[in-house]
Amino acid sequence: MNKLKIAVLFGGCSEEHAVSVKSAREIARNLDPDKYDPLYVGITRAGEWKLCAFPDSDWESGDVLPAFLPPDRGFRGLMVLERGSWRIVRVDVVFPVLHGKLGEDGAIQGLLELAGIPYAGCGIPGSAICMDKSLAYVVARDAGIAVPDFRTFDAGEMPDAELLGLAYPVFVKPARSGSSFGVSKVTRADELPEAVANARQYDAKIVIERMVPGSEVGCAVLGTGGDLVVGEVDQITLSHGFFRIHQEQNPEQGSENAVVRVPAEISEQDKIRVQETARRIYRALGCRGLARVDMFLRDDGQIVLNEVNTMPGWTSYSRYPRMMAAAGLKLSDVLDRLIALAMEG
């Protein structure tokens, strides 16, 4: 059997670079060697592409070769510089294990569309919409899905605490970032300027939203169109603050302020409602391939959108693979399905 040549892209220029490297490492360990011939392409924080042997934490210091992916469909692969000469390495499927800016916002998807190479995950529109929390809220709301009460402020706009029109506490977030980077919980008006400055370290555009009382739940979704598979629902219980495990020192040993339960400790009826709402959100936002849909289950039973991650983490402590595993799909099976979906187009 001819093996598929899979190019795993990881790293990237965003603040989620380190998480991406961990995710790629876990994917590398679970790709079936009888089916796939993987290539590992790391992108440095400065944006340089390097072909490497394996996505180790010190991959940049190993034996690497300069590489890039040309948008010309005549190549359909990587250009790799070796011994002073460029050579073409054909690629069947790209797995863009890139989190955050230039990875989940439609940028890398656009390059792959131009290059004519199939890739795992959401396309350009779904990626762009989901990456921008305010756009995702607008589209979801128009589809009849409940969203938090929120305000959006573009670059140069400074929110007036007196005119905000939201009851505290509120969350201040970069509109286009992930892993809770730049997020602050604000309980008083005088805390707002510092929170805005913190968020704008990651994006000039910010979202301020009223806190939703209730449980934070999530649902892993896999598939395209009407043929969707959902994982077990998970639930985050916080002792304080907000969920930010990817910024913690030792996430492999558990979160400092949160417990993630899979399956969620909610009723069977609520679990079914959460899964169905996740499917609705996934379709409404134009997702394909996969996404992790995060929601709030309010105390009154209403389900409210939190956010959608179109390339969720794949680390040993990440929520998406744990939800799928609890539903009976091990990571290697999920990867097989994603690659098959990419090949189908």
Residues 109, 20 share a domain? yes
List 82, 157, 252, 265, catalytic entry: 252
Same domain for 322 and 232, yes or no, is: yes
Q: What is the pLDDT of residue 242?
A: 55
Entry pTM: 0.92
Alpha helices in 178-315 (DSSP H): 192-199, 268-284
Q: Is 317 a catalytic residue?
A: yes
Residue whose entry in the numeric block shows the structure tokens 């940049």: 60
**Dihedral of alpha carbons 247, 248, 250, 254, sign:** negative
Q: What is the pLDDT of residues 91-107, one digit of tens each?
A: 999 999 999 999 999 99
Asked if pLDDT for residue 290 goes beyond 50, the answer is yes
Q: Are 192 and 141 part of one and the same domain?
A: no
The verdict on whether 252 is a catalytic residue reads yes
Q: Are 16 and 181 in contact (CB under 8 A)?
A: yes
- Residue 63 CA to residue 303 CA, distance in Å, equals 49
Q: Which of 119, 136, 165 is the last residue of a domain?
A: 119
106 lies in the same domain as 219: no
**What is the tally of structural domains in the chain?**
3
Instruction: Categorize the per-residue pLDDT at 238 as very low, low, confident or very high, splitting at 50, 70 and 90.
Output: confident
Q: Any catalytic annotation for residue 90? A: no
Q: Does residue 298 share a domain with residue 223?
A: yes
Catalytic residue among 42, 313, 319, 337: 313
**CA-based Rg of the chain, rounded to a whole angstrom?**
20
How far apart CA 249 and CA 262 sit, in angstroms, is 23
| Domain co-membership, 239 together with 305 | yes
Residues 6 or more apart from 135 whose CB is under 8 A from it? 128, 129
- CATH of residue 164: 3.30.1490.20
pLDDT at 180 (0 to 100): 81
- Do 115 and 46 share a domain, yes or no? yes
Residue in 22, 50, 101, 205 annotated catalytic: 22
Q: Give residue 248's pLDDT band: very low, low, confident or very high (50, 70, 90).
A: very low
CATH code at 253?
A: 3.30.470.20
Least confident segment among 39-53, 157-171, 272-286: 157-171
Same domain, residue pair 100 and 163: no
Please give the structure tokens belonging to residue 309. 């991650």
Instruction: Give the count of beta carbons closer than 10 Å to the beta carbon of residue 225.
Output: 7
- Does residue 19 have an active-site annotation? yes
313 and 267 in a common domain: yes
Q: What are phi and psi of 48, to 5 degrees?
A: -85, 135
- Whether 334 and 305 map to the same domain: the answer is yes
Please report how many Cα atoms fall inside a 13 Å half-sphere around the Cα of residue 303, on the Cβ side.
Answer: 24
Task: Outline where the chain has alpha helix (H).
Answer: 17-30, 107-115, 124-131, 133-142, 192-199, 268-284, 319-326, 331-344
Annotation marks residue 292 as catalytic: yes
Candidate list 292, 319, 322, 337, residue with the active-site label: 292
Domain extent at residue 206: 150-210
Q: What is residue 82's predicted lDDT score, i.e. its pLDDT?
A: 96
The yes-or-no answer on residue 50 being catalytic is: no
Tell me phi and psi for residue 182, to 5 degrees: 80, 5
Query: pLDDT at position 312, please?
Result: 96
d(CA 139, CA 127): 13
Considering only residues 335 and 165, tell me which one the structure prediction assigns the higher pLDDT.
Answer: 335
CA of 107: how far to CAs of 6, 88, 111, 127, 326, in Å? 20, 23, 7, 9, 32
User: What pairs with residue 112 in β-bridges?
Assistant: none
Catalytic pick among 17, 25, 99, 176? 99
Asked whether the predicted pLDDT for residue 225 surpasses 80, the reply is: yes
Using DSSP, how many helices (H) and how many strands (E) does the chain show? 8, 17
Is 246 labeled as catalytic in the residue annotation?
yes
Please provide the average confidence, as pLDDT, over all residues in the chain.
93
- 10-69 residue pLDDT tens: 999 998 999 999 999 999 999 999 999 999 999 999 999 999 999 999 999 989 999 999
Res. 89: pLDDT tops 80: yes
- In the prediction, which pLDDT does 61 show? 92
- 70 and 138 in a single domain? The answer is no
Domain of 58: which CATH number?
3.40.50.20
58-85 residue pLDDT tens: 999 989 999 999 999 999 999 999 999 9
Known catalytic membership, residue 240: no
Q: How confident is the model at residue 246 (pLDDT cuts 50, 70, 90)?
A: very low
Residue type, 49: W
- How does pLDDT run across 165-223, given as a tens digit for each residue? 899 999 999 999 877 889 999 999 999 999 999 999 999 999 999 999 999 999 999 99
Q: Are 185 and 168 in contact (CB under 8 A)?
A: no
- On whether both 27 and 49 belong to a single domain, the answer is yes
pLDDT digits (tens, 9 = 90+) for 105-150: 999 999 999 999 999 999 999 999 999 999 999 999 999 999 999 9
